[in-house]
Structures are given as structure tokens and as C-alpha cells.
Amino acid sequence: MSNKVGEQTIIFKNKPKIIGNFSVVGEKEGHGPFKDYFHHILEDDLFGESSFEHAERKMLEYAISSSIEKAKLNINKIDLIVGGDLLNQIISTSFTARHFDRPFLGIYGACSTMAESLAVGATFVDGEYFKNVVCATGTHFSTAERQYRFPLELGNQRPPTSQWTVTGAGSSVLSLNSNGHSITYATLGKVTDYGINDVNNMGAAMAPSAMSTLISHFQDTKTTPDDYDLIVTGDLGKLGSEILMDLMEHNGYKLGKNYNDCGQMIFNNNQKTFQGGSGCGCSASVLNSYILKKMDEGVFKKVLFAATGALLSTLSTQQGDTIPGICHAVVIERDERVGRK
Amino acid sequence: MSNKVGEQTIIFKNKPKIIGNFSVVGEKEGHGPFKDYFHHILEDDLFGESSFEHAERKMLEYAISSSIEKAKLNINKIDLIVGGDLLNQIISTSFTARHFDRPFLGIYGACSTMAESLAVGATFVDGEYFKNVVCATGTHFSTAERQYRFPLELGNQRPPTSQWTVTGAGSSVLSLNSNGHSITYATLGKVTDYGINDVNNMGAAMAPSAMSTLISHFQDTKTTPDDYDLIVTGDLGKLGSEILMDLMEHNGYKLGKNYNDCGQMIFNNNQKTFQGGSGCGCSASVLNSYILKKMDEGVFKKVLFAATGALLSTLSTQQGDTIPGICHAVVIERDERVGRK
């Protein structure tokens, strides 16, 4: 197999480029540390729609069409849209795809969806099956909260281990033979389950899957954590990130100052989100704003983007099942031609 | 783009082979026309488990592991499992993947999932990213019914346009450089919406997506319906199939005796399923039993397998949205070396 590296990793020899990217987030996220990096911040979370679900779709649609604009492409030049979301039957992405009239692949990896879509999209581009592929995902606090937890009107208390689903969407356009940072590797994750069954402690449920994928990635590519300017997990949150660092250290990998977590980064400590952000919109919006911008500026040259997902449903929880997790990772390498003055 | 054909179709020049396949179905399906083709028929729909959801997982697990056995491979030789299902957050496939400890890509295409998994799996194999990829999906009447419609205990009446969710799972193992029928093309579908909002008339909601993908496929590959021994849609059912034939004829394509529909075929008329079968387990179990067996026998040499999905959720319906549909298609060509005595 000429494009397989080690056990779980594939190499993209044609180096698909990210030629356009866009992020849109809610008002609360717009008050966080990345307020100057997001492309668009909503003034109200309904985005002018009649329901939060419709607002979620509109964010996704806005992120996708704006990323295509940034790529200086017409929608007719897009060969494929790859995406998914957290709502049952991924209706946000499916309904959004309806408006674009382009081939669509629905995927589901819970909060690992941004990395999964980049891995799948990069494969189609690298193998020269399709030229221009859009990878997108998003979430909305108010749709996730009422689907997974309680009616918003109840105003339930949140336990200290909980995270706050990010209202946000991100979209990246991949293409060959252009300028842009490259996707060079993807490590596809295994479903892991360490027996966590507390739905308010997602970080703990997902940390083992991040460990599994990161270790496989380092082994497969014969790299170490020091080879990356940034290793960033999807949304383990503060507690989950600490668990991951402990798990990695037990396995001989020290994650140092170059490690961070999108869930941990996206809110300020005074924003009362407890462990930080979550939801596929979290890593999608952080990647498509702050991370890619810092790559433009040359601050990050090689990034390991490892988005994590908790593969539960309300039904699996009600039936007493534990919470399996998954983590997919992609390597993004800087295009030295970008951002040079 | 060397592997793109027309607008929506990709060609697999390395011709990934189906080297193992397996189908498992429920008792009712085991009394239908394909009873002698299914590999395993359950004696009871709980499959020895405590809930229908756990039975659905067990069917999938059984189909996947048996297809790997049929491919004469050890689980460690499997590089990737691609699959999804109808339950919220595709828990059946995710929980199943947990047991195999192999990289997993979760996808969601409603009842188009079998074709979507084959299209994605074939891309990874054809591009030499991974050698052996499992593509699988399944559904269970009792889990789908209570998730999408009513509690089973209510014993609700079913309208005459309704279909019966198939209890069944199917799995195919794809690989390069072996004997087996080949996946030669995939046409990835667009999300279409003709404004149908009757959740008990899925065939009508999905027929336009089948039309869209079939016409694109014929145009992209410069073929006509006559070039295929079998053109088979996923699960439009009887009414949906008639609508599709009408729609195609209006567009200048006559679907003749070589056209059929998995939903229409899987039950006998006296089994009171009204329009026939549905659910991703429907086309998955028919493909991985009857269709591939008839290819072994040389009855079908070139099959266009076009699975259709209705992309709704209970919430989208409750919020008054219409039902978008999608259809993904793959071409399967006979390996003349298989089944020769």
C-alpha cells in the first residue's frame, strides 16, 4: 500500500491544500479569547430564524458559502461537500447541503467531525477523484442542549465537569495545485471505551480515544510531540486535557507547551462554561479561525489537529451503556508562500 | 482530474474487489422471497439480547465478523470499517466498531448508507490508502419504529403508503488484487427535495433523488439503462419505484425489466408490509445475499446499485420541514473467475 503509513495513518502525497476557510460563531463565543479571529460573530443566536435548529443550518450554510468565496470559487466548481453535525440524523448538514445542489457525503463522528471530514475530503482530493471538496460542520448550544440534556426553559444547573456546546460552524475548502496550507497525513481513530458513563463528563470519556490516536500517529509517522508547533485536541475541555496529558505521560509521551485543546481555549475563565467548549462547532470554528490564521502568520508551521468525539446518544445512556469515544487526526503543514509580505 | 468522470461520478481504475460478504436478517425477512439467499436468519428478533437496540448491534457485529471470515482474513488485516445506521448518533455502528478495535469512519446517509459506505470504502482501497476495508450497515424494525414513529406497544395502524423497516444487516469486505466482483464507479448524490412532507410516504420523498443520481450516472458514464443487467434502487418500495419510473420516462430514460427495488423485492405480497421494505438493512441485506449470489452465478454481470435515503428526523418533521432525499450509486461488475465450476 503506497499511501498507508504504519497501522492507522495515511499519507497525502499530493498535499491537498486548504484554499479557503471560514468561521462563524455565536455572541458568547464572540466575547471569548478568539473574538478577533472569527470571521463572523452573530448578534443574536437565532440568526434571524424562527428556531435554533434553523439558525444552526443557516450558520453552516453561511460558513460553507463564505469559505467557497474565500477560495475564489463558484459553487459550480465544488465537486463534493463532506460534513455532519450532532443533531439526530445530521439534519443540519443534510438540509444545508440541499441548498448547494452539489454531491454530498454525510458523516458522523460527533465532535470529531471536522477532522473526519478533512480526512475523507483530503482522500478524495489527494487521489484525484474530485478537485474541490468542502469540509464543514457546526453546532448550536441551544439545539444540542435540548436534544441531549434538558429543555432550555428548565434552566437546569450544570455540574462542574460539564462543558458548553459551542454555537459555531467552520468550513474548509480543499483543492490540489493551489496555494494554501496542506493536509499531509490523516490518522483514523479506533472506537475506545474506558467505561465512563457520566454524560456530564465528556472529557474523561473522550481522553482515551485521543490517547489512542495520538500514540498511533506518533508511532506510524515516527514523530514525537516535539515535531509539532501545535498539537490540539478537539474538545476535551480542561479536565479531559489533564487526563489526556496524564495518560500520555504514562505511555512515555510528554505533551508540553505545544499542546492545547480547542474546548479549553475557546472561552475565557470568567465565562462560566466550567470545563470549556464542546460540540463539533468548537474545533471547527477554532481551526478555521485562530489556528489557520496563526499558520498564515508563521507562528505555527506544523499542526496536529486531533478532534475527539463522544459516541453516545440519549438512548444509549438511558439503556445504561457506557460512552465510547473516537478521535481522528490530521496533520496540517504551513505553506511558506502564504502570508509573506 | 484523472479519476473523475463527468460531474458527479468517479472511476475506480484499480477495481476494488468484494472479497467477502454476509447478510443476516430477522424472522419475517426470512419468510420472504430471498429466504434461500440470506446467510443467517434470526429465530427471534432479540437475537438473545435484552433490547432491540442491542440486537441491532449484535446483527451488525455478526455480519461484519462473518464477512471478514468469508474473505478469509483475520480482523487484524482489516484497515478500516466504514458504516452507519438509522439510530440517533449512529450508535449501533459506533458501539459495534468498539469491539473490533480497528479504525472506524462513521457515515450517515439514512437508507443510502450501504452505497455510501461502498463508495467511500472503494475510494480508500482504490487510491491505495488502505488495503482491506469493511463496509457495513443494518437496521431493526423495532428500534426504527419506536425511534421514528410510535411506541411498539401502541400497535398503531399503518397507512397504505408506508414501508416496513427491515430487520437485517449486510457487510462487504473490499480489497485490491484478489478475486471478486469489482466496484468500478461511484456516483455521489445531491440532496434533493420535492416538497414531500408525509413521513409515511418515503418512497415519494426519495424517488426524485434516485432520478437525479441515475440520470447523472448515465450522463457521466455515457451509458444507458440497457447497459446494466440490473439497476436496483435501495428502498423506494412499490409506489416509490413507480414514481421513479415515471420521472425517468419524463426525462427520456425508460427503466425496463432490468429495473427493480430492494424494498419491493424483499417481502412477499402477503406479508402485509404495504409498499415493501425500507431501512439501511434492506438494501444492505439484499445486496450482500441475492444480488452478489446472482453475480456469482453469472445471471447479473453489471449491476447499478443505487441506494436511496430520506434525510429527515422526527424533529425536522415536527418543525414542519419537508423531507430531503439522497441517492448514492455504485457499479458492481462481475468477476468472470468467480462461480465458474
- pLDDT tens for B293-334 read 999 999 999 999 999 999 999 999 999 999 999 999 999 999
Asked if B98's CB is within 8 angstroms of A192's CB, the reply is yes
pLDDT of residue B2: 87
Task: Give the residue among A67, A207, A61, A59 at the shortest CA–CA distance from A143.
Answer: A59
| Those residues with Cβ within 8 angstroms of residue A341's Cβ, 6 or more apart along the chain or in another chain | none
- Measured between CA atoms, the residue of chain A closest to residue B102 is A190
Those of residues 230-289 in B touching chain A at CB distance below 8 A are none
**pLDDT at A340 > cutoff 80:** no
> With an 8 Å Cβ cutoff, is B129 touching chain A?
yes
Helix (H, G, I), strand (E, B) or coil at A165: strand
The Cα of B11 is separated from the nearest Cα of chain A by a number of Å equal to 8
The Cα of A132 is separated from the nearest Cα of chain B by a number of Å equal to 10
Which pTM was predicted? 0.98
H-run or E-run covering A121? helix A113-126
Those of residues 144-163 in B touching chain A at CB distance below 8 A are 147
C-alpha cell of B126?
482504490
> With an 8 Å Cβ cutoff, is A111 touching chain B?
no
C-alpha cell of A263?
474546548
> With an 8 Å Cβ cutoff, is B104 touching chain A?
yes
The Cα of A251 is separated from the nearest Cα of chain B by a number of Å equal to 19
What is the number of CB-based contacts under 8 A between chain A and chain B? 184
For B319, the closest of A51, A105, A147 (CB atoms) is: A51
* Phi and psi angles of residue B29, each rounded to the nearest 5 degrees, phi first: -65, -30
- Set of chain A residues whose Cβ sits within 8 Å of the Cβ of B147: 315
Count of alpha carbons within 13 angstroms of residue A228, beta-carbon side: 28
DSSP 8-state code for residue A304 = E
Q: Strand pairing partners for A81?
A: A104, A134
Asked if B129's CB is within 8 angstroms of A101's CB, the reply is no
Asked if A105's CB is within 8 angstroms of B109's CB, the reply is yes
Asked if B315's CB is within 8 angstroms of A108's CB, the reply is no
- Measured between CA atoms, the residue of chain A closest to residue B3 is A129
Task: Give the residue among B278, B308, B314 at the shortest CA–CA distance from B139.
Answer: B278
Asked if B80's CB is within 8 angstroms of A89's CB, the reply is no
Q: Strand pairing partners for B181?
A: B18
Asked if B319's CB is within 8 angstroms of A98's CB, the reply is no
Task: Give the residue among A59, A185, A184, A60 at the shortest CA–CA distance from A134.
Answer: A60
- Set of chain B residues whose Cβ sits within 8 Å of the Cβ of A151: none
Task: Report the percentage of chain A scoring pLDDT > 70.
Answer: 99
Q: Strand pairing partners for B11?
A: B185
pLDDT tens for residues A98-141? 999 999 999 999 999 999 999 999 999 999 999 999 999 999 99
DSSP 8-state code for residue A287 = I
For A315, the closest of B53, B102, B193 (CB atoms) is: B53
Q: Strand pairing partners for B83?
A: B106, B136
Q: For residue B90, is it left (φ>0), alpha (ψ between -120 and 50) or beta?
A: left
Separation CA A340–CA A242 (nearest Å): 36
**pLDDT at A1 > cutoff 60:** no
Strands A17-25 and A9-11: unpaired
> With an 8 Å Cβ cutoff, is A51 touching chain B?
yes
Asked if A106's CB is within 8 angstroms of B116's CB, the reply is yes
* Domains of chain B with bracketed CATH: 15-175 (3.40.47.40), 181-333 (3.40.47.40)
Neighbours of A256 (CB within 10 A): 9
- Set of chain B residues whose Cβ sits within 8 Å of the Cβ of A80: 188
Separation CA B105–CA A207 (nearest Å): 18
Of the pLDDT bands very low, low, confident and very high (cuts 50, 70, 90), residue A341 is: very low
**pLDDT at A17 > cutoff 90:** yes
| Those residues with Cβ within 8 angstroms of residue A257's Cβ, 6 or more apart along the chain or in another chain | none
Neighbours of A157 (CB within 10 A): 7
- Set of chain B residues whose Cβ sits within 8 Å of the Cβ of A130: 1, 4, 10
- Set of chain B residues whose Cβ sits within 8 Å of the Cβ of A199: none
H-run or E-run covering A23? strand A17-25
- Set of chain A residues whose Cβ sits within 8 Å of the Cβ of B205: none
Say if residues A136 and A91 touch (Cβ distance below 8 Å): no
Asked if B324's CB is within 8 angstroms of A94's CB, the reply is yes
Q: Strand pairing partners for A203?
A: none
Separation CA A125–CA B336 (nearest Å): 32
The Cα of A211 is separated from the nearest Cα of chain B by a number of Å equal to 14
Neighbours of A179 (CB within 10 A): 11
Say if residues A313 and B87 touch (Cβ distance below 8 Å): yes
Task: Give the residue among B322, B95, B264, B306 at the shortest CA–CA distance from A311.
Answer: B95
- Among A60, A80, A94, the strongest candidate for a mutation testing the B interface, having the largest count of B CBs within 10 A, is A94
- Set of chain A residues whose Cβ sits within 8 Å of the Cβ of B116: 105-106
Average pLDDT over residues A287-298: 98
DSSP 8-state code for residue B107 = B
Asked if A98's CB is within 8 angstroms of B192's CB, the reply is yes
Those of residues 281-340 in B touching chain A at CB distance below 8 A are 311-316, 319, 321, 324, 326
> With an 8 Å Cβ cutoff, is B94 touching chain A?
yes
**pLDDT at A71 > cutoff 50:** yes
- Among A129, A192, A209, the strongest candidate for a mutation testing the B interface, having the largest count of B CBs within 10 A, is A129
Asked if B4's CB is within 8 angstroms of A316's CB, the reply is no
pLDDT of residue B341: 44
Burial of A301 (0-12, 13-18, 19+ CB in 10 A): middle
Asked if B105's CB is within 8 angstroms of A106's CB, the reply is no
Asked if A106's CB is within 8 angstroms of B108's CB, the reply is yes
Amino acid at A5: V
C-alpha cell of B60?
451488525
Asked if A123's CB is within 8 angstroms of B129's CB, the reply is yes
Separation CA B115–CA A133 (nearest Å): 20
Residues present in chain B in total: 341
pLDDT of residue A336: 87
> Which ipTM was obtained for this model?
0.97
- Among B120, B176, B188, B220, the strongest candidate for a mutation testing the A interface, having the largest count of A CBs within 10 A, is B188
Separation CA B252–CA B260 (nearest Å): 18
Q: What is the pLDDT along chain B (341 residues), one digit of tens a residue?
A: 589 999 999 999 999 999 999 999 999 999 999 999 999 999 999 999 999 999 999 999 999 999 999 999 999 999 999 999 999 999 999 999 999 999 999 999 999 999 999 999 999 999 999 999 999 999 999 999 999 999 999 999 999 999 999 999 999 999 997 899 999 999 999 999 999 999 889 999 999 999 999 999 999 999 999 999 999 999 999 999 999 999 999 999 999 999 999 999 999 999 999 999 999 999 999 999 999 999 999 999 999 999 999 999 999 999 999 999 999 999 999 998 876 54
B184 alpha carbon, distance to own chain's centre: 17
Helix (H, G, I), strand (E, B) or coil at A17: strand
Separation CA A144–CA A165 (nearest Å): 7
Span between the terminal Cα atoms of chain B, in Å: 41
